[in-house]
Amino acid sequence: MAGKFKAGETAYILESNRIVREVTIARASGGMYLIRFVDGGGIQVKEHRLYKTKEEAESNIPGFKPERTGRSPYDYDH
């Protein structure tokens, strides 16, 4: 079974359910990934903790509300 990431690819991880960090995949084996942080260091994580894009990771932050891009006709200033 092929994983969704390969060595050398960039991915994103949520730290403490609130901080998105960019990482590089160093090794993949059996659903586990050795990741390297951009600023040094690394850890081994399961595949479900990794995201393909920064936006995907941000959308999984508990309580995260994306910025609205348009105005509703019901929006008005008091």
Task: Answer whether residue 76 shows pLDDT above 70.
Answer: no
Question: What is the arithmetic mean of pLDDT over 34-62?
Answer: 94
State residue 78's pLDDT score.
55
Question: pTM (2 decimals)?
Answer: 0.76
The CATH T-level fold of domain 10-58 is SH3 type barrels. (2.30.30)
pLDDT, tens digit, for every residue of 2-43? 578 999 999 999 999 889 999 999 999 999 999 999 999 999
Side-chain half-sphere CA neighbours of 76 within 13 A: 3
Q: Where are the domains of the chain?
A: 10-58
Distance CA 43, CA 34 (A): 6
State residue 32's pLDDT score.
95
Q: Do 51 and 17 meet the contact criterion of CB atoms below 8 Å apart?
A: no
* Token pair 């200033």: residue: 77
